[in-house]
Structure 1
Amino acid sequence: MNNKYKSILIVILFIIVIFNCIVDKTYAVVNDANRNFKRITTDDGLSQISVSTIIQDRKGYMWIGTGDGLNKYNGSKFQVYKYNHKENSISGNSITDLKEDLDGNIWVGTTAGLSKINTITDEITNYLPNENGCNISHYRIRAIMVSKKGDILVGTNDGLNIYDRENDNFIRIYNSEDYNSSLSNQEVYSLTEDVYGNYWVGTRNGLNRINNKTGILERYFAHEDDENSISHNFIYSLHADNLGYLWVGTYYGGLNKLNLETGAIEKFMPGLDSGIPGSYIRDILRDSRGDVWVATDNGFSKFIEEEKKFIKYKSSRYNLGSLISNDTMTICEDSSGAIWIGTSEGISLFNPENLFNYYKADPFDNNSLSSDNISGIYEDNDGILWIGTMFDGLNVFDRKNNKLIRVDQIEDYDGEFYISNNLVRDITGIDDEIWIATENGLDKYNKNTKEKIQYREESGLPCNDVRTLLIDSEGILWIGTRDGIGISDRNGKFGNYSQSFMDAGVNKLFFNDIHEDKDGMIWIAGSIEDGLIRFNKKTAEIKKYNYFGENKEASNNTYNYIISINSDSKGNIWLATDYGIIKFNKESEEYKRYTEEDGLPNNFVYGILLEDEEYLWASTNYGITKFNIEEEKFINYESADGIQGNEFNQYAYFKSNSGEMFFGGINGLTSFRPEQINEKEFIPNVQIESLSTNYGKLIISDEIKLDYKNNQLEFEFFLPDYKDNRKINYAYRLFGLDKEWVFSESKTSINYTNINPGEYVFQIAARNSSGKWSEPTSIKIKIDNPPWKTHFAYFCYGTLVIIIIYVIWNRVKILDSMVKQRTLELNNKLIENNVLYSKLLSHEKYKNNYFINLSHELRTPLNIISSTQKVIENLNNQEQKIPKEKMAYYMNSIKRNCTRLMNLIDNIIYTSKIESGTYRLNFKQHDIVYLVEELALSMKELIEENGIELIIEPFIEEKIIECDDIEIERVIMNLISNAIKFTNRDGIIQVFIWDLGDRIKISVKDNGIGIDPKYHKSIFDRFSQTYSESTEEHGGSGLGLTLSKQLIELHNGIIWVESELGKGSEFIIILPVRQ
């Protein structure tokens, strides 16, 4: 191509570019393309600014795919998913498409494979070609579609894949050059399902329809000679709407609208007719309102079907509220109706429902405002807008003819008019006269006569710094300045009320606003010291109200700074202050203040406009608000709703005669008709996104059961309302623990500690910026009792208590029985002790008797021996010869008593030896009959001397036994001696011997005094001689029977007595034959 043609081409392209810019500017003024967009970038936590795809899941989360990671967004924080070869992660970082299936799983297409995220467990499954048996056709995923019945289709660089749910794998559909019913091309870029259930597949070369009933694939191609064919074969985006149209976006081939019923195709190309901003169609969406939105490589647009033209939204580096980038990639409508636009430089978000008009400055467009910092607004009788700015003069905007003229200190309006200062405070007018308050004077301009007059202090103004203007019902102009207040008639004759106000106690002549109510009363916003001032035009009475604090009596009040004033027909004065809105009743002089706690978006209020008796509107430092006067409820709007921005300005508010409202701020001018602004009816339910306990996070479900150790709970939640999430307030309670709802401002997590076991219901609700509360979201939580507090445990405790009671009762019963038994035993023991005591007493008595008897028995023979010795000694002293017979008698007496003493001593010695266990018997074979007979016969003389008859009657002649003959003789002698003592003269002593085979029986029997049966056992005990008068009479130590019993027992024999008192006694001995 030669230089001539190159030059011509450059000129043509330049003309086209200039023409498009002119067209763009024209549309920018007359349509809604000046919407205000909310931006989301990496500064907010987005992983990367190039946003390729956006979806919202059923829980309300926004899933955002970027060039470097997948983002899960809840309005306040991002959770980023990235590839990590060490962990279970998504297959790649460059996200190409996102879809949610019917089970709530998120399918993620990347340039490195396909991933599926289980949103309940956060588990990720990757599908890669030829890995783990997966047969998906290619790594690079271009498009994903989930059909109404749940089919999942995946388009890749190498064909179409249909998910086989049963085998968790894919079925491939390829292109075949030889088969016309195959895909038109291997590279699949877009997928959609139409209202008839047919699947549409966009490829690099042609459009394909898969008939859902027959499975037949039909191809669509572009043909230059066919007007009813698609505009280009490279199909980049597809969208099937609910009206029966298929929207086909191409790669630099424009947009196509296919009527699915008739087959007719409409084509939209960049140019004068359609106004579509670009020919590279990235994404298409028909939203829930029926509007069609198109994302292109050269801007974002809304298609007006009735006019078949596009409203274009473009990015401006000088407007932070504009589209963030012209390189738009994806569109998503969330559940609230907000539109999300993904671009190469981040996300733009706006609410298309509210019809706010937005005017702002553009340094490259002289037909735009001179500044975004708006100060004063007025609409004259011809509908011309007069817009003042803070430092850039005045703008006169003819909206009907789309003509805007800038007026400042240098440039004239209509060639004749300029203003006193570029800082315009306030504007008002009457008929054709326009009054402009500036920082350096008051200007009047007559539109008809073109007359312009500038007034300053020398003209009669109280002060050159004019702050507020009012034309009252009588046509009088009231002028509030920084240092005084005055009036002017239409001829420019001024009056000054400054001195009158000072005389009335007004401390500072600084006035923010002047307002006239329906009764003609003038209300003035004074300084912070003076508060509200009322001026009665009829009486010139001035009254101050400076008590708008916590109470009327409060001193040093800081709540009196009034910025603007309005009034209603009911006698209420409405005050905009730096601490909320005040409703003041001029009759009762009572007031009520509304602040952020009541739902106001911000406490610093600039201007108040009344829509009617039911609603008022106010501008603040965080958006504008609509207030329902009767219900006392606020509905708040912020920049995402389409207003100029969140911060507004003083004096920048105005309501036209037609009811249109204007509010100006630091980022331009917003206008709207209140009746066209829809209230925010949308209020989603709060989503509980996580529940953590002492031991980590749990999977969220409607009912959660915990053990007793999990008694610390942390809930995290969010409200999926992304248009205005700054002013979301929450109310929560743990039913069963909290008695009342707990309110929290924008806090999205709650902790509970040391919760007792039991059943609880956690409830969370949210209030959006409109003051509307959502329905509570609930989770049932049951914390089990510890094992020792379960029903089974209590059953065991009950059983154990019963057992314990039974054991105790039984033990008590046993103890009672034991006590009774023991009592009985003790009683018996007591009886025994009494018996023993009696015995002891008796033994003591016996002992005494024993020793008395013993001493008597010892003394008697000794006395006899002593007396005999004395007789002999006396006879010898008298030298008398003792006869032989006498001497023999004396010697025999001495001998007999000596023998008696020896026997007594022997008995004592033997008894002691036996009791000590040192005495041993000398067993030998002896004839027991002979031993007994000989011993008895040896005592016959003694027996007969006492007048007693002895009878010996053995029943056997001879019996040899093993015994100690000496000790047996001692026993028999003791028994016979006892019998002699206790048998009266003429009595009888009998000795019997019986043979009992291996034993021998010996009996010594008398017919003496006898023994009481109660003493039968005790007579053999030492110290226990049976007491009676006869016993006392006969004396004796009692050792004989004791020794006899001991000796018989040493022979392994037994001895006992059979006797009754007065009937004599019989002592019986049984001895064994063999030892």
Structure 2
Amino acid sequence: MLILTPCMQSIRNIPFALFLVLLGLQYSGPIKSQSPGLQGQLFSNTSGLSQSAVTSIMQDSLGFLWIGTREGLNKYDGYSFEQFRYHPDTVSLSSNAIRCIAEGRDGVVWVGTDYGLNKLDRLRGHLWTQYLTDQADSSYGRVINSIRIDKEGSVWLRTENNLVRLNPETEEFTSYKLYQDDSNLPEKDKSFSIVIDPVGLIWMGTKDGLQVLDPETGDIQIYSGMSGKGLKSNKIPMIFQDKDERIWCGTADGLYLFFRKTGSFLNAKEIMPELGSLNVISIGQTRKGELLIGTNQSLIKVLPDLKTTTKLSGFNRPDVYTRFTAISAIYEDRSEILWLGTNSGLVKIDQKDKKFGLIRNEMVSSIFLDMNGDLWIGTDGMGLNLLRDGSGPAVKYNTHARVMSKRLTDDIIHSIHRDRKGNLWIGTGNGVSVMQTGTNRFRSFCSGEAKVLCSLFDRQHIYDIFEDSKGFIWFAASNGIHRFDPEDRSILSIRRIHYGSEVLEVKDVYCVIEDPEGRIWIGSSVGLIRHDPATDKYDVYQAGILTSSSSINSNTVFSLHVNNDGELWIGTASGLNKYKYESGSFEFFNDPVELSEMRIYGIQEDSEGNLWLSSERGLATYHPELETFIQFGPVDGLQNNEFIQGSSYKHTDGRMFFGGVDGLNIFHPDSIPYNQYMPQLAFTQFVRFREQGGMSKPIALDRVSTVIVPRGVEIVTLRFAALEFTAPEKNRFMYKMVRKGQDGLWIHNGEQNYVTFYRLSPGKYTLSVRGSNNDLLYSAEETQLEIIIPFAFWNKTIILLIYIVITGLVLIAIIQLRTRSLRKSNRILRKKEISAMEIERQRHDLARKNKNITDSINYAQRIQHALLPTNESFSNLLPESFVLFKPKDIVSGDFYWINQHGNKVYVAAVDCTGHGVPGAFVSIIGFELFRKITTSEQGSNPAMILDTLNENFTDIFSDGEQVYLNDGMDLSLCIIDRKERSLDYSGAFSPLYLVRNETIIEVKADRFSVGADVHFSAERKLFKSHKIFLQKNDIIYLFSDGYADQFGGPEGKKFKYRRFRHLLLTIHKLPMKKQQSILDASIEEWMGETEQVDDILVIGIRP
């Protein structure tokens, strides 16, 4: 079903007739108004309610919502339900069966149950007081059906047979006996309500008609059906007084209006025949004057004119329609939220206008509004729809249209554009179609152009169409970017870009835009591209080192926007970027965090400079200068959280259009009906954590102004709530904590509704909190809580004076001892001077010896470098490769090795035990063993090479049974067979990474080293070999553990393999030398001032 939301009637300059036309998108019959139905939320026992059968609802003066059920009482703060239940004591509820709730003076909560009356006095502790539960009080009746509070604060109770008044000050009860017809037997579990009118009369529904008490005289008057006044049945369980002071009576056979002057009743179906016979269970009224009637299966809404009624059988939840069960309670809170108590749970319905107009439709992938009011809507798979302004149903264009003039080449519509000559262009999933001026049919673009090859667009997605200032038409396609010249009818295709010494293959181009300088910016899956038509030069910006100002934060660019100030904004798969023309650098926006986690599919700007961003997480508005960020979701009227790339449009009059998977949102930013209800703030809980461990039971804080923290408490957590229930999860908070009498700064706490303090010093503090609703409208006044941390007894004045005297005596003693110590120190100092001279002589000897050792190590470095393969030899054997080699010390324990025999190339990355001199010695032995083994018959298989290497190490590092050296090598060895296009790999602890189809495949190594544990294992371990058949564009990486184990970064942590793999996956398409430089720069920036902890070796090969 296509749904048109009511708030669309208020959108600027859009005739309502147009939106009735929109119904034709999914409705093939005649156009007629449809009700969008109620959008609601259901709370049940699985949501935290004590039970799903709700009997009563009340919002107290603080803003908390109280919900009575057949199995307990609940208090709701927007985040959770606090339950109150019966316990066998005198300080809890007397019964779990709750019938009614009311609030008296000073915030006292009165609760009527099946077994007496209960009072919660929050000013004097959170304990319950029970009334009418003793046998002596049984004459009043123990079942409390209804509670009302009059102007003097007296509590009026409706029991089974009586009306009872309670004086809260004296706790005295006065009972009024009601008229009883003994022949009319009462029904079991039937509740009867009361109301108090403006003059103080008490009106009661009874089994014997409507009765009214005058409290001043004690007289009771009866109005019943027996008097022939229009009442069909005397049983009136429900009465309600509306805003016009009319008395409504709900019975099992209908709704009646009572006329006081005549004492007669009028059945409502006589003025509203569509009501029929109703079993009225509950009655309520909205602030707009709408009368609400709850029945066994529906909610009936009666407009104030008492002529128009609407019957609602259920409400919509996300992905499910829920039917009403018996509605026992109806309540509208202070922010126009309607709460319904049903047998299935508590239903929440927000009656405020939604912020965004909504058209329910297929997946809307592109939008364009003509100047004449025609709206073109492209879908992802259902073709193109044209809605002519007020002229009838939608005109549909698709691949299977019966009329040839309505037929398209593809049903996926990515983009719509009308050029300056009036031609309408559409980009589809199978090329470009165009409707030329003066025609009413689309044709394939290439079919009418002699200079345009159809193969250029065949089966290609056209994501964007853009016309630049010179009249060129740009097509952003899956196979590159194409520019069409309407004058000479020629087309220029750009599929590869040469920039510097690099070549970039352009693919999956999503968007094109022109900046004020006439430069063309192109967003694609391989980065951001800038083209200067004046010089025909291209610049490419890609993701690299994330802290570099010359890089964007993702290579996938979905959207581009030039704002009113000429600034370029870039929406990527990792959030929002801005290009700074002056410095040629980029700025990332990651505050708030949500901004950096969005895939930004569309960017539009309103007249105030706010950026409207569509993503897979809903719609958001961001003002860069004010740094205000507001995110919207389905609760605000959005079609869904998920929007579609490129499906956004802004009309010249300021209206905005955003399309997504479930329809189209239309709005004007200046006409959004933001929530104007300020929340009430309240502290809810106080939780303590003692130094010995353990959390105390949470203490309720509503109506508490001061908290004293006992000794031994180290951690204090205080919870609070903004009691505006439109979208509590979006309410935000700020707080300040100061010592009494001081001022402080407000700290924004985001959506977190609690603060925690650690080891507060003794004193008096004031915690002030302000909260907002879901639209960031903050409460006008702050809510305060005084927190007292008592001083310990030793901090008192007398104890402090004693401390001062003792401290003075101790200081005198210390001075005396210090004088003696100085004399002794002078004698010792002379001896130390003599010792220092001897130490200086020894230092010179050590420096000379150290120089000799260093010279030897430097010479060893030259020997080791001579053994390593040269860059030239490595490049000759593997042209598409790089080696990043960064020793920790002068000589290295890591080395790499390459050799060729016939069609096979041997490559190894080796990490010897340790680094520096010990590692270098082991590496020299490894060089010789590799040379020896690979020239033998055992050199055809990498596993056999490692097994032989293992045996040779055993022989070298063994001295009979006397000496065992725990030395060895972790390594990756692969043999590349060029003829067979295969790779054989074997490894000792060092895996091999294969990048294929944008995915890293890790080839596991054996979990033991070469030669390291041959003396500690009775069983000889053999290495395994892995064979991989290579594919085009495969890249392999060999490496030691030095890169991933390097410490650094903002928190001084390891780089780790997860970050290493992500970096490789980001750069693997780049040229090999470019990869080497990025890897080198990334680890250098990561290290910063941190010392290198190990040798680093990374080898990349594109076989």
If the length of structure 2 is used for normalisation, what is the TM-score? Answer: 0.58
SS in 1 for 2:36: helix
CA distance in structure 1 between the aligned counterparts of 2:650 and 2:602, rounded to whole angstroms = 11
- Work out the CA distance in 1 between the residues paired with 2:807 and 2:585: 72
- Give the structure 1 partner of residue 953 of structure 2: none
Partner Cα separation in structure 2 for residue 72 and residue 117 of structure 1: 12
Matches for 1:549-948 after TM superposition, within 5 Å: 552-553=548-549, 558-584=553-579, 592-597=587-592, 603-628=598-623, 631-656=626-651, 658-684=653-679, 686-693=681-688, 694=690, 700=701, 701-706=704-709, 708-710=711-713, 712-736=715-739, 744-766=749-771, 769-771=774-776, 773-774=778-779, 775-791=781-797, 793-794=799-800
Query: 1:165–1:780: structure 2 CA closer, same or farther, 3 Å change rule?
Result: closer
Aligned partner of 2:129 among 125, 128, 142: 125
| Structure 2 residue corresponding to 1:425, chosen from 414, 417, 431 | 414
How far did residue 318 of structure 1 move?
Answer: 8.4
For residues 653 and 588 of structure 1, the distance between their equivalents in structure 2, rounded to whole angstroms, comes to 30
- How large is the Cα RMSD of the aligned pairs? 5.1
SS at match of 2:51: coil
Contact kept, 8 Å, 1:485 with 1:498, in 2: the verdict is yes
Alpha-carbon deviation of 1:484? 2.0
The 5 A counterparts of 1:512-527 are: 512-515=510-513, 522-527=520-525
Aligned equivalent of 1:150: 153
3-state SS of 1:605 partner: coil
Cα distance per residue 1:267-314 (max 9 Å; x no partner) = 76599x787799445544444566655545444465554695346655
Distance 1:576 1:682 in 2: 34
Residue 74 (1) aligns with residue 77 (2):
yes
Query: Where does residue 376 of structure 1 map in the other structure?
Result: 366
Per the TM alignment, residue 530 of structure 1 is displaced from its structure 2 partner at its CA by 1.8
Shift of 1:510: 1.6
Deviates more, 1:253-262 or 1:765-774: 253-262
- Which residue of structure 1 aligns with residue 816 of structure 2? none
Report matched runs for 1:34-45 at 5 Å. 34=37, 36-45=39-48
Secondary structure of 1:726's counterpart equals: helix
The aligned residue for residue 7 of structure 2 is none
Q: Equivalents in 1 of 2:574, 2:348: separation in Å? A: 31
Moved more, 467-476 or 67-76: 467-476
Contact residue 190 and residue 237 of structure 2 kept, 8 A: no
| Alignment correspondent of 2:527 | 530
Q: Distance in 1 between matches of 2:748 and 2:292?
A: 40
Judged with a 3 Å threshold, the aligned counterparts in structure 2 of structure 1 residues 671 and 294 are, in CA distance, closer, same or farther, namely farther
Preserved CA contact (<8 Å) 1:461 1:486? no
Question: Structure 1 counterpart of 2:141, which letter?
Answer: S
Partner of 2:333: 334
Match of 2:493 among 497, 503, 507: 497
1:352 aligns with 2:358: no
Contact 1:396 1:406 in 2 (8 A): yes
Deviation at 1:77, TM superposition (A): 2.2
**Deviates most, 259-268 or 111-120:** 259-268
| 1:486 corresponds to | 482
1:350 to 1:499, Cα distance in 2 relative to 1, 3 A = same
Q: Which deviations, in whole Å up to 9, do the C-alpha atoms of 1:21-62 show, x marking residues without a partner?
A: x9xx99997477356434434443233333333322233322
Letter in 1 for 2:443: I
**Deviation at residue 221 of structure 1 after TM alignment:** 5.8
Q: Alpha carbons of 1:544 and 1:52: their partners in 2 closer, same or farther (altered >3 Å)? A: farther
Give 1:63 deviation, angstroms: 1.9
Within the alignment, does 1:58 sit opposite 2:61 as a pair?
yes
Paired residue type of 1:760:
Y
Q: For the Cα contact (< 8 Å) 1:441–1:465, is it kept in 2?
A: yes
**Cα distance change on mapping 1:158 and 1:376 into 2, 3 Å:** farther
Say yes or no: does 1:250 pair with 2:247. no
Shift of 1:405: 7.4
Letter in 2 for 1:498: I
TM-score relative to the length of structure 1: 0.60
Shift of 1:330: 3.3
Match of 1:137 in 2: 141
Distance 1:584 1:108, change over 3 A: farther
Report the Cα distance in structure 2 between the residues aligned to 1:513 and 1:520, rounded to whole angstroms.
Answer: 16
Q: CA deviation at 1:516?
A: 5.3
CA–CA separation in structure 1 for the residues paired with 2:652 and 2:151: 52
Return the offset for 1:72. 1.9
CA distance in 2, matches of 1:574, 1:490: 29
Q: Give the residue type in structure 2 aligned to 1:756.
A: S
Residue among 454, 458, 461 paired with 1:458: 454
Structure 2 unaligned segments of length 5 or more: list them. 1-23, 447-452, 691-695, 814-1103
Give how far 1:351 is off.
3.6
List per-residue Cα deviations over 1:865-919 (Å, max 9, x = no partner).
Answer: xxxxxxxxxxxxxxxxxxxxxxxxxxxxxxxxxxxxxxxxxxxxxxxxxxxxxxx
Q: Which has the bigger relative contact order, CA under 8 A and spacing at least 6?
A: 2
**What's the secondary structure of 1:640's corresponding residue?**
helix
How many angstroms apart in 2 are the aligned matches of 1:447 and 1:475? Answer: 16
| Partner SS state of residue 150, structure 1 | coil
Shift of 1:432: 8.8
8 A Cα contact 1:477 1:488, kept in partner: yes
Which deviations, in whole Å up to 9, do the C-alpha atoms of 1:602-657 show, x marking residues without a partner?
63433333331344433344443344565332344333333334443333333345
Contact 1:32–1:357 under 8 Å retained in 2 = no
* CA deviation string 1:716-742 (max 9, x = no partner): 333323322334454445424998766
**SS of equivalent to 2:592:** helix
- Decide whether the 8 Å contact of 1:199 with 1:210 is kept in 2: yes
Residue 544 (structure 1) shift: 4.5
Asked whether the 8 Å contact 1:327–1:344 carries over to 2, the reply is yes
What secondary structure does 1:643 align onto? coil
Distance 1:733 1:252 in 2: 56
Q: In structure 2, what residue type is equivalent to 1:664?
A: G
Percent of matched pairs sharing the same residue:
23
Spell out, residue by residue over 1:499-529, the C-alpha distance to the aligned partner (whole angstroms, 9 max, x if none). 47667965432222334567876543222x4
Aligned ranges for residues 946-957 of structure 1 at < 5 Å? none
Cα–Cα, structure 1 residues 562 and 218, in superposed 2: closer, same or farther, change >3 Å? farther
Q: Please say which of residues 42-51 and 454-463 is displaced more in the overlay.
A: 454-463
Find the counterpart in structure 1 of residue 865 from structure 2: none
Amino acid at match of 1:354: D
